[in-house]
Amino acid sequence: MPRIRKEADTSPGVHGSTRRVQRTGSSSLSITLPKAWTDSMNLQIGDSLRFRDLGAGRLEISPVNAESPSERRQKLLRIDASDAPPRLLARLLIGAYITGQDQIIVTARSGLTPEQRQEVRRTVAHVLGMTVVEEESGVVEVQNFVDPGRYQFHRLLSQVVRILRTELGTCRTSLAAGNRIALQQLDPLEDEIDRFYLLMVRQLLLASDDFQVARDIGVESHHYQIGNRLVAKILEVLGDLISGVAHELKENLAGIHRLPRSAVTELSKLIGAVDELLERTMDAFARISVTDANASLNSIEESLHADYSLGDTLARRISDRQVAVAAQRVVSNLLMALEMLVIVNEVTINRSVEPETVAKTDRQVSMERGKAADR
198-256, pLDDT tens digit by residue?
Answer: 999 999 999 988 888 999 999 988 889 999 999 999 999 999 999 999 999 999 998 88
Lowest mean pLDDT among 18-22, 37-41, 259-263: 37-41
What CATH fold (topology level) applies to the domain 1-9+48-146?
Translation Initiation Factor IF3 (3.30.110)
pLDDT tens, residue by residue, 342-352: 999 999 999 98
Say if residues 143 and 112 touch (Cβ distance below 8 Å).
no
The pLDDT mean for the chain works out to: 85
Q: Which residue has the higher pLDDT, 172 or 258?
A: 172
- Domain residue ranges of the chain, discontinuous segments joined by +: 1-9+48-146, 153-374
Picking from 82-91, 171-180, 215-224, 361-370, which range would have the lowest pLDDT averaged per residue?
361-370
List, as one string, the DSSP characters of 10-66: -SPP-TT-----EEETTTEEE-PPPHHHHHHTT--TT--EEEEEEETTEEEEEETT-
Residue type at 282 in one-letter notation: M
Report in angstroms the alpha-carbon separations of 69 from 9, 42, 65, 212.
17, 16, 11, 7
| H-only helix segments in the chain | 35-40, 88-98, 114-125, 153-177, 187-209, 211-217, 222-257, 261-287, 290-307, 310-316, 321-351, 355-360, 369-374
Mean pLDDT of 113-121: 94
If pLDDT is split at 50, 70 and 90, which confidence band does 55 have?
low
Backbone region of residue 329 per phi and psi (left: phi > 0; alpha: psi in -120 to 50; beta: other values): alpha
Q: What is the pLDDT of residue 283?
A: 97
Instruction: Give the rounded percent of residues in the chain with a pLDDT score beyond 70.
Output: 85
Q: What is the mean pLDDT of residues 290-296?
A: 96
Give the per-residue pLDDT at 135. Answer: 92
CATH of 153-374, one of 1.20.58.220, 3.20.20.450, 3.30.70.2700, 3.40.640.10: 1.20.58.220
**For residue 370, what pLDDT is reported?**
47
Question: 39-43, 99-103, 132-136, 173-177 — which is least confidently predicted?
Answer: 39-43
What pLDDT is attached to residue 35? 79
In one-letter notation, the amino acid at residue 135 is E
Tell me the per-residue pLDDT of 68-78, one tens digit each, with 9 for 90 and over.
444 556 789 99
Residue 113: pLDDT band with limits 50, 70, 90:
very high
pLDDT, residue 44, reads 78
**pLDDT band with cut points at 50, 70 and 90 for residue 364:** very low
Residue 196 has pLDDT above 80, yes or no: yes
pLDDT digits (tens, 9 = 90+) for 84-97: 998 999 999 999 99
pLDDT top residue among 183 and 47: 183
